[in-house]
Amino acid sequence: MHSFLLAGMLTFALTARAQDASVVPGLLKDLSTAANDTARADVLARICFNLIRTDPDSARLIGERALVLAKRINNPRALGDAHNNLGWLAAEQGQFARADSLLTIALGVFHKIGKPEYTSTTISNLGWLAEKKGDSVGALKRFQEALTMSEAANDTATASILLYSLGIAYRKIKDYPKSLEHLQRSQRLERALRRSGKEANCAVGLANTYRETGDTIAAITSFQEAAALYATINDHQGSGIVEENLGDLLLDSAPAAALPRFLKAKAHYDTLESNVDKAYVLLRIGTAQLRLNEKSAAEASLQEGATLATSAGDPNLVMEYEHALAELAETKGDAESVFAHFSRYMALKDSLQGAGTQNELVRLRTEFETERTEKDNTILRAESNEKSERLRRKDLQLYGSAAIGVLAMIAALLFWRNYRQKRQHAAMLEGLNQQLAGSNAEITEINGLLEMKLLRSQMNPHFIYNCLNSAARMTQAGQSVEALAYLQGFARLLRMVLDHSVNDTVVITDELDFLRQYLKLESHRLGDLQFEVTAEQALLDDDATIPSLIVQPFVENAVWHGLANKTGAKSITVHFGTQEEGITCTITDNGVGRTEAAVLREPHEPSHKSLGMQLTSERLRLLSRRLSDHGAIRVEDLVDGNGQEMGTRVTVIIG
């Protein structure tokens, strides 16, 4: 993750056309000796541009000075530069509406000047603004338009940067052939321009594109090419990024080869005294050492990195370290530390998810309030127009009273106009009502999605509680070895739960593996549990997908309430198949049945109701609403020839 983040920083470095705060003192001297207002406006624009990233407050004040001066001397070039720089500053500070307005004004000014090289810069900035807003398609259109302008102006240097921007944008929408084409063109131009740093950045972009397409050999070759270029210009940041990426490529298959790469990356970051970068690479170093069974070295690396992560105040990085320390404790058989680190990991994860949910709710509320304000303004304008029309009509009637002969004609004219206006107003009101109905439907859909995310976030703590409760019971029963094995299996299962919980759907093969792992854990606890988890071959061949974490609560209910209280052989089967309604899952057990389970539970849990079943039923209800009411749950009591209960069958129709 850190490697891709750093690669994104390289992307921005290309777009920030040589922003360099170190040139500001020299520009201030130029400002004091400027011969006229035109020269002063030009120097102010360049000072503003070079301070955007390092001192945004000063950049804003100087940019506004440049804007006032440009308006006073009525210089179109200075006016366009001032709006362009202030617009990019607003984009950097997340003020997207203001940025869009300022950049659009700059674009209009440069269009009037008629020089493509000026227009190209602003269009490129609008492209990056669209990228910041998550509009990848809009960004592509802007970059392509800017590239056309730069090529028309024979501006090779800017064209190369735009080709790189297009390559990155195409990679984000997974159009890999076009991404490779544009990045390779940019690399050839940078090589001709002898800009080694930017050529190395292109090599990193190509390597990451090859990496996403699964071409590991080509990715390694491009990374090595970038490393050689960074070495020639003594760029420790770029060299560290390359070594870290190469280590990531080797980590899963050859951790012994990955470790030296991570150590080289750390050496580069040490030169830069970059604690955040060191914290990220120490996490990778500790992971590699752990896979090589170098537990002491791994512990030292992870502890050092965790300290740096905490001092940097990066909650995501601290959360990753808690997860890694839990894995380390698992290899050492320290169940207490495993539980402690996983608890802190889950607390951080829940906190970050909660903050994200709140931010999303605020965003939706802001959009709704903005839309409502716009509609209120439309209604007010309509009322104002109507009042003005009534006043005008009265004036006409007053003037018309002077001539009785024309009064009839004026009355007929007014009648026809009123009739036509009523029809127009009726059509306008009907259109507004249709827009309101569409908005209400959209808000209802958003609320449904938020409700489903809330239910799924509640299922994870419930599931974890039940698993940890099983381990606690084993420990209380004196089964320490079994409890430790159970916790190790639980750690693997939890990793699968974490993977599933961030996706709305999962491939059915992943769901089968997840259910087998869960039943394997339960077989440790029950001792004589036999289980089978299967699916129709057609579903496996088609890589069918189902909602994540939708079946496990039913399996858990069958084990805890149907089989745990049964003596003798215990068995459960889970089968995924297809019917007319769609994909179905059938859970069959040979337990005591619902009636006896209720009797056995009554003295201890008289008001018990399975939270997992309740949450899953609610999830299916929401899914059913979106899937045309296909989702349903059927429960059947299985009986023998004498009418005695011999188990339960639950059929979940997923749709």
Domain count, the chain: 3
Q: Is the pLDDT of residue 572 over 90?
A: yes
Residue 137 CB neighbour total at 10 angstroms: 10
41, part of any domain: no
Question: What is the band of 459 on the pLDDT scale with cuts at 50, 70, 90?
Answer: very low
Residues 306 and 338 reside in one and the same domain: no
CATH of the domain at 246: 1.25.40
Is the residue at 386 inside a domain? yes
Alpha-carbon span 44 to 78, nearest angstrom? 9
The tens digit of pLDDT for each residue in 119-159 reads 888 888 898 888 888 888 888 898 888 888 888 888 888 88
Condensed to tens digits (0 to 9), the pLDDT of residues 502-548 reads 777 899 999 999 999 989 888 877 778 899 999 999 999 998 998 88
- For 225-271, how does the pLDDT look when each residue is reduced to its tens digit (9 = 90+)? 999 999 998 888 889 999 999 999 888 889 999 999 999 999 988 88
Same domain, 463 and 358: yes
Average of per-residue pLDDT values in the chain: 81
Q: Are 352 and 497 in the same domain?
A: yes
Q: Does this model's pTM top 0.85?
A: no
Closest to 467 in 3D by CA, of 531, 529, 519, 511: 519
Do residues 518 and 492 share a domain? no
* Among the listed residues 258, 268, 314, the one whose alpha carbon sits nearest the alpha carbon of residue 290: 258
* Residue 513 CB contacts under 8 Å (≥ 6 apart), including other chains: 496
Whole-number pLDDT of residue 645: 84
Shared-domain flag, residues 422 and 545 = no
* 507 & 484 share domain: no
- Residue 487 and residue 510 in one domain: no
For the ranges 82-96, 270-284, 351-365, 547-561, the lowest mean pLDDT is seen at 351-365
- In the prediction, which pLDDT does 390 show? 74
Structure confidence at residue 238 (pLDDT)? 87
pLDDT at 67: 92
Distance (Å) of CA 487 to CA 190, 356, 482, 500? 54, 30, 9, 19
Please indicate whether residue 377 or residue 144 has the higher confidence score (pLDDT): 144
- Structure token pair of residue 362: 């605020």
Is 442 in the same domain as 552? no
Q: Show the CA angle centred on residue 536, arms to residues 533 and 539, nearest 5°.
A: 110
Is the per-residue pLDDT at 343 higher than 80?
A: yes
Residue 536: domain span: 503-653
For residue 516, what are the CA distances in angstroms to 457, 537, 547? 23, 17, 17
Residue 589 identity (one-letter amino acid): D
- Angle between helix 611-626 and helix 404-476 axes, rounded to 10 deg: 150
Q: If pLDDT is split at 50, 70 and 90, which confidence band does 14 have?
A: very low
Among 486, 501, 516, where does a domain finish?
A: 501
Last-in-domain residue among 442, 475, 501: 501
Query: Is 478 found in the same domain as 349?
Result: yes
Cβ atoms of 443 and 536 within 8 Å: the answer is no
Q: Please state the φ and ψ torsions of residue 631, each to the nearest 5 degrees.
A: -75, 140
Last residue of a domain, one of 267, 285, 313: 313
Q: pLDDT tens digit string along 18-48?
A: 456 677 888 888 888 888 988 998 889 888 8
Using alpha carbons only, what angle is made at residue 453 by residues 450 and 454, rounded to the nearest 5 degrees? 85
